Amino acid sequence: MPENKHLIKPYTYLPFGGGPRNCVGMRLGLLQIKICLAHMVLKYQFVRTPKTDVPLQYQRSIQMIYPKRSFADTL
């Protein structure tokens, strides 16, 4: 409650995944993603198509950033 706010000791409540003892799975997941990206870069060749805008123009939404021209627009 707001009237008891001054009684709360800092870091008394840390949800799972917060603070110095954060989730071990989060680090493992990030490591797996990095390894996956490294393998993709080594195994495949990424090329630009003639329809690719240079520089890319991005459109922002609440949760994502994506190119203004979507793949569906080019079909």
Q: Which H or E element spans position 67?
A: strand 65-67
Cα torsion 29, 35, 36, 37 to 10°: value is 110
Please state the domain count of the chain: 1
| Domain range enclosing 49 | 2-74
Average pLDDT of the residues in 15-19: 63
pTM: 0.44
The whole-angstrom distance between residue 11's C-alpha and the CA centroid of its chain comes to 26
Q: Which helix (H) or strand (E) holds 59?
A: strand 58-60
Which tens digit of pLDDT belongs to each residue from 37-65? 999 999 999 888 887 778 878 888 887 88
Higher-confidence residue of 46 and 69: namely 46
CB-CB contact of 56 with 67 (8 Å): yes
Mean residue pLDDT across the chain: 79
Q: Is the pLDDT of residue 68 over 80?
A: no
**What is the rounded end-to-end Cα distance, in angstroms, of the chain?**
56
